Amino acid sequence: MYDVDEIRREFPILDRRIGDKRLVYLDNAATSQKPRRVLDALTKYYERHNANIHRGVHRLAEEATAAYEESRAKVARFLGAPGTTGLVFTRGTTESINLVAYAWGRKNLREGDEVLLTEVEHHSNLVPWQLAAQATGARLRFVPIREDGTLDMEEAGRLIGPKTKLVGCIHASNVLATINPVVKLARMAREAGALMLVDGAQSAPHLPVDVEALGCDFFACSGHKMLGPTGVGVLWGRPEILEEMDPFLGGGEMIREVRLDHSTYNDLPYKFEAGTMNIAQAVGLGAAVDYLGELGMENVREHERRLGEYAYGRLSELEGIEIYGPKEERTGLVSFSLPDVHPHDLSQLLDEEGIAIRSGHHCAQPLMRRLGVPATARASFYLYNVEEEVDRLVEALARAREFFRPYAI
């Protein structure tokens, strides 16, 4: 049974007050809150086991190494990876994608090659490819969206061709709440001989994910968006592909033999883990995916789907509101604009009532341009949010609008 009250008790910050109001945290797409057990895992790690890993023969080093590697196994299982060999810890989605853009992209892209992305990408899955394109002469192309925010798959079919070397796609959009057909894209990519990278920053926290079933070659996500600590993320890659890639960061741990003039590199996944890693954070992420596994990602998805639907309905009551993305098959977030009130002013007024939403371009400026707005407001839900919070949001929006309406331009 999915007991949201019990779940809420796990999150100390949900008792926080803003002024005299109880916090309503609806900025989960930016970062999630952390359950007590994740904080406890961090504290326990530091108070009992902290040591540098892999190279030490003493007890703490053994324990820290075991904890770190266990986390790797847990995260691999959580993502449906067939083993731990392809599971690399990074700082987050952004570093994961940059790793691919450097270590795979710089080595394999040439003038005339194409990388196919979409108009919906987060800057994290766009800027690294712009830099790789500048360095190699490859060209970026983009799958457009249709009016409802879903990908134009016919156009995708036309765009994928023999020049395509990699297709990169956001799995769940952090703005439109769409879930993109990455399985289909991966199939099309494979048929064209291209690799498929999935930006799972907004899917891994909210949907059951199975990288094998997705059929992708790379999958990136961030710990901090899925109940884990800041400072840790994941790149999963097919071992055969990772094996052939150049190293990315050089340093300790990723090497086998170092001479002054050249070096050879360690086995996977260590080849991509240079220097002292974010050990405690990886351990914390292990505790987070344990918890998500206990709750069941199907249940998390169902809870958020319902809440998102409820929010979509309640927000639609507001006269003149514009909600972005499709009506159906949405994740648990809603981006919107209200006439008369700039999103910044909106979130500020909401903040006074203890309600945290985000306003801005959500690191998706090209998508904002496509939608024809400089910014939107966004309420994003997670497994601990409840309908009463949606109600407080809607009421506060109505009041904010009353406040601003007299001054509307």
Partner 1 sequence: MSMMRELYTQVILDHYQRPRNRGKLEDAELEEHLLNPLCGDEVTVCATFDGDKVADVKFSGRGCSISQASASMMTERLVGKSREEARAQIEGFKAMMIGEREFPETDDLAALKGVIRYPSRIKCATLAWTAFQRGLGIR
Ligand X SMILES: Cc1ncc(COP(=O)(O)O)c(C=O)c1O
By the criterion CB under 6 A, which residues form the site for ligand X? 29, 92-94, 122, 124, 170, 174, 199, 201-202, 222, 233, 252, 275-276, 363
Span interacting with a copy of itself, options 89-97, 159-167, 323-331, 383-391, rule CB under 8 A? 89-97
Instruction: For residue 321, report the phi and psi dihedrals to the nearest 5 degrees.
Output: -65, 145
CA distance 405 to 409: 9
Q: Where are the beta strands (DSSP E) in 200-258?
A: 218-222, 233-237, 255-258
Asked if 251 is part of the footprint of a copy of itself (rule: CB under 8 A), the reply reads: yes
What's the min distance (Å) between Cβ of 118 and partner 1? 19
Partners of 338 in the β-ladder: 341
Contact 223, 232 (CB under 8 A): yes
Contact partner, 50, from ligand X, a copy of itself, partner 1, none, Cβ < 5-8 Å per class: a copy of itself
CA distance 69 to 333: 33
> Looking at beta carbons only, is 235 or 393 nearer to ligand X?
235
β-strand 333-337 against 322-323: which pairing, if any? antiparallel
Reduce the secondary structure of 126-176 to three states and give it as a string: CHHHHHHHHHHCCEEEEECECCCCCECHHHHHHHCCCCEEEEEEECECCCC
Asked if 18 is part of the footprint of a copy of itself (rule: CB under 8 A), the reply reads: yes
| Residues in 363-392 that interact with a copy of itself by CB under 8 A | 363, 365-366, 369
> Looking at beta carbons only, is 260 or 409 nearer to partner 1?
409
Residues that bind partner 1 (CB under 8 A): 19, 54-57, 61-62, 65-66, 255-257, 266, 342-345, 348-349, 352, 359-361, 365, 368, 374-375, 399, 403-404, 406-409
Contact partner, 403, from ligand X, partner 1, a copy of itself, none, Cβ < 5-8 Å per class: partner 1
Active-site option among 169, 216, 221, 363: 363
Contact partner, 296, from ligand X, a copy of itself, partner 1, none, Cβ < 5-8 Å per class: none
CA-to-CA dists, residue 285 to 37, 222, 278, angstroms? 11, 9, 11
Active site residue 216: no
What's the min distance (Å) between Cβ of 399 and partner 1? 7
CA distance 389 to 355: 9
- The 38-67 site mask, x for binding a copy of itself (CB under 8 A), equals -x--xx--xxx-xxx--xxxxxxx------
CA distance 170 to 97: 11
| Cβ neighbours around 147 below 10 Å, total | 7
CA-to-CA dists, residue 191 to 195, 210, 245, 394, 408, angstroms? 10, 21, 21, 47, 53
Span interacting with a copy of itself, options 156-164, 189-197, 226-234, 386-394, rule CB under 8 A? 226-234
> Looking at beta carbons only, is 275 or 339 nearer to ligand X?
275
Contact 167, 178 (CB under 8 A): no
Asked if 25 is part of the footprint of a copy of itself (rule: CB under 8 A), the reply reads: yes
Determine which residue in the list 65, 71, 85, 98 makes contact with a copy of itself, applying CB under 8 A. 98
Asked if 164 is part of the footprint of a copy of itself (rule: CB under 8 A), the reply reads: no
What's the min distance (Å) between Cβ of 302 and a copy of itself? 26
Half-sphere exposure of 130 (CA within 13 A, CB side): 7
CA-to-CA dists, residue 268 to 172, 238, 262, 272, 354, angstroms? 28, 11, 19, 7, 46
Determine which residue in the list 100, 350, 394, 397 makes contact with a copy of itself, applying CB under 8 A. 350
Contact partner, 33, from a copy of itself, ligand X, partner 1, none, Cβ < 5-8 Å per class: a copy of itself
Asked if 261 is part of the footprint of a copy of itself (rule: CB under 8 A), the reply reads: yes
Span interacting with a copy of itself, options 71-79, 128-136, 152-160, 317-325, rule CB under 8 A? 128-136
Tokens representing 387 are 């309908």
CA distance 159 to 4: 44
> Looking at beta carbons only, is 303 or 362 nearer to partner 1?
362
Q: So which residues are the catalytic ones?
A: 363
